[in-house]
Amino acid sequence: MTSTTEVLHALRALGLAGALSAGLALAGTSHAADLRFAADWAFQGPQAPFLLPHENGCYDEADLNVITDRGFGSGDTITKVSTGAYDIGFADINAMLEFNTRNPDDALIAIFVIYDGSPLSIITREDTGVTKPADLVGKSIAAPPGDASRRLFGLLAKANDFDEDAVDWRSVSPELRESTLARKQADAIAGHAFTGYIGAKAAGVPEDQLVVMRYAENGVPLYGSSLVTRPGFAEDNPDAVERFIGCVAQAFMESARDPEGTIEVLAKKDPLTDKAVERERLQLSLDWSVATPWVVEHGMSDVDPERLADTTRGAARALGIAVPDPDEVYTDAYLPPRDTLTWSAE
């Protein structure tokens, strides 16, 4: 008997996305699945693609009943997925590493890398004279104590041959970070590139004065936010997980093709959305983290084992945790056929 997965693969290979439900019927078994998903943050531009499968019918065609909720940070999403409050979450893979080390009985695994390029960054003003990471020596950097760019700053320092302790860290709350830069109370800030960039402009730093130094472009090729889940959940629901990943991958490519349409979907969710700001935030996330040169050439979530091992090792050391086995960090076992993940934004 032909399996459901084989039918789905055949349909996808033919490009018959709309026939997914029929494929399920052909398999002779109903595989309708309920799935709870948590994003990493509030619904803004970068999170907007997760709303598209509800709007364009992909989840219906895939026979998935999906609840999509906002997140409150990667750490919070990871905790909620580990407890079973959600089945799948979108969270930083490096935050997952730390959680797994400290909670081995509740460890999660990444099943689909969306941010091939980590958004970790240092953002400064042109008038500080900082144009490259090594110029940060002797400068002040503002960030919350738990910020990932701050905690993994040692990797940037090592990759650019300067002492990570040669900077003056100033602790600020997240809501004051960008205004600290605008008021010149610090020479730079640490944070996610697109969030910090948009926030700094909103705080009053002229766009032509902003300098964004992304870790990914300065010798620190960390993987970033990914779909994460409990290994047991994926093992018990392989077809549902694969179909969910397929819809999410399609949504990000659709967002690249029609960012304005994606923001319109976001605005339906939140009528107070500033469409221009979120359109720019979405585009930056796509350009800087999702559609990297590697993804454009190789497709989404084509994880390089050597890069994963090297960056996992570096992140673990920077975080002061044991180095995990890369096979316990990421698996490609639940990806849809590779040809459906070929980047297509035209």
Task: From residue 174, give the alpha-carbon distance in Å to each of 116, 178, 190, 191, 275.
Answer: 25, 8, 10, 9, 23
Residue 224 near residue 115, CB atoms below 8 Å: yes
| Average pLDDT over every residue of 233-247 | 98
Q: Tell me, what CATH number does 70's domain have?
A: 3.40.190.10
**Domain-terminating residue out of 192, 217, 242:** 217
261 in the same domain as 213 = no
Same domain, 208 and 245: no
Q: Based on the fold, state whether residues 68 and 94 are members of the same structural domain.
A: yes
For 150, phi then psi, to 5°, come to: -70, -45
Residue 23 within any structural domain of the chain: no
Number of domains the chain is built from: 2
In a shared domain, residues 182 and 79: no
- Mind listing the pLDDT tens digit for each residue in 41-51? 999 999 999 99
- Characterize the bridge pairing of strands 64-69 and 33-38: parallel
Within-domain flag for 135 = yes
- Give the CA radius of gyration of the chain: 20
Of 195, 217, 239, the position where a domain reaches its end is: 217
Angle at the Cα of 94 (from 342 to 87), degrees rounded to 5?
70
Determine, yes or no, domain membership for 17.
no
- Whether residues 236 and 320 fall in one domain: yes
Q: Write phi, then psi, for 191 (nearest 5 degrees).
A: 170, 180
In a domain, 43, yes or no: yes
Same structural domain for residues 257 and 124? no
Q: What is the pLDDT of residues 176-204, one digit of tens each?
A: 999 999 999 999 999 999 999 999 999 99
4 located within any domain: no
Same domain, 330 and 229: yes
Residues 112 and 124 in one domain: no
pLDDT at 78: 97
| Number of neighbours of residue 173 by Cβ within 10 angstroms | 8
Say if residue 237 is in the same domain as residue 323. yes
Do both 268 and 240 map to the same domain? yes
Find residue 109's DSSP bridge partners: 229
* Plot region of 265 (φ>0 → left; ψ -120 to 50 → alpha; else → beta): alpha
Is a pLDDT exceeding 80 seen at residue 343? yes
Listing from the earlier edge strand, what are the strands of the sheet with 168-171?
A: 168-171, 140-143, 188-192, 120-125, 210-214
- Strands 120-125 and 225-229 come out as unpaired
> Taking 90 as the threshold, does the pLDDT of residue 76 lie above it?
yes
Q: Per the structure block, which two tokens stand in for 154? A: 């040692």
- Give strand pairing partners of 168: 140
Per-residue model confidence as pLDDT tens digits over 298-318: 999 999 999 999 999 999 999
Does residue 3 carry a pLDDT above 70?
Answer: no
In the beta sheet, which residues pair with residue 169?
Answer: 141
Strand, coil or helix: 90: strand
Looking at residue 19, its pLDDT comes to 37
Is position 231 within any domain?
yes
CA atoms within 13 A on the CB side of 91: 33
Q: pLDDT per residue over 14-38, tens digit each?
A: 343 433 433 333 333 446 899 999 9
Residues 277-299 have a mean pLDDT of 97
Q: What is the pLDDT of residue 5?
A: 38
Q: Which one-letter amino acid corresponds to residue 75? A: G
pLDDT (average), residues 275-285: 97
Q: What is the pLDDT of residues 98-114, one digit of tens each?
A: 999 999 999 999 999 99
pLDDT of residue 197: 97
Using a pLDDT cut of 90, give the percent of the chain over it: 90
Task: Looking at the structure, tell me whether residues 230 and 319 fall in a common domain.
Answer: yes
Residue 292 scores a pLDDT above 70? yes
Six-digit token string for 345: 């934004």
Q: Is residue 22 part of a domain?
A: no
State which of 217, 236, 258 marks the end of a domain: 217
Q: What is the pTM of this model?
A: 0.89
CA atoms within 13 A on the CB side of 80: 21
- In tens, the pLDDT along 120-170 reads 999 999 999 999 999 999 999 999 999 999 999 999 999 999 999 999 999
Quick check: is 18 in a domain?
no
Which residue, chain included where needed, has tokens 């364009």? 56
- What is the domain extent for residue 322? 32-117+223-341
Contacts of 327 (CB under 8 A, 6+ apart): none
Q: Say if CB 52 and CB 265 are below 8 A apart.
A: yes
Residues 109, 234, single domain; the answer is yes
Percent of the chain whose pLDDT exceeds 70: 91
